[in-house]
Amino acid sequence: MNELRRVAANTPGEPQSYDTTSIALHWITAVLVASLWVIAHYIDDFPRGPARINMRSTHVLLGVLLAATISYRIYWRARRGRSLQPINTGRFATLTKVGHVTLYVLLATTIALGVANAWIRGDSFFNLWTIPSIAPGDKALRKQVGEWHELAANTVLIVAGIHALIALTHHFLLHDATLRRMLPRRS
């Protein structure tokens, strides 16, 4: 437990929070994931026609924004973002890395399945253009890929929820800087 309770040393000159871009990309990702999940669960409640097409198109558009955000986030993290010393050491530091990689892999998988779903299903995008179906009439494939996309999205939400609970545990029970490092700085 001491390993988990270790608080990062306040080394003089060492930054104690992530850079503004990393923080913004983190929270944009969180908002997009939550928005996409909510929209997905209400698309079929809209009547067939323009309202449903617009909701599905909004879901696709936000999915594209999520893909762009994740891509830029990976680039930023690898090339320009601020790296901080881990708050935890040993196996907890390893678990933290595994958790973050798992989230990225799940997000990428969900996005890829969403793209596959749109191309297999075929659709109208805001009634401006049509996404052609690459498997017209193959309802079994359409259903299977749709279910995989839903399963991946639900898994992302569960893992992200665990991620958030761990951050809150660090903040309220362990009283370390884990959560504060990812919050916007106050002026």
pLDDT of residue 15: 61
- Domain spanning 18-182 has what CATH number? 1.20.950.20
Q: Which residue has the higher pLDDT, 84 or 37?
A: 37
Computed on alpha carbons and rounded to an integer, the radius of gyration of the chain in Å comes to: 20
pTM, 2 dp: 0.87
Lowest mean pLDDT among 25-39, 88-102, 127-141: 88-102
Beta bridge partners of residue 37, listed in sequence order: none
- Kindly indicate the confidence band of residue 71, based on its pLDDT and cuts at 50, 70 and 90: very high
- The predicted model gives 15-37 an average pLDDT of 93
Element (H, E) at 182: none
CA distance 187 to 174: 26
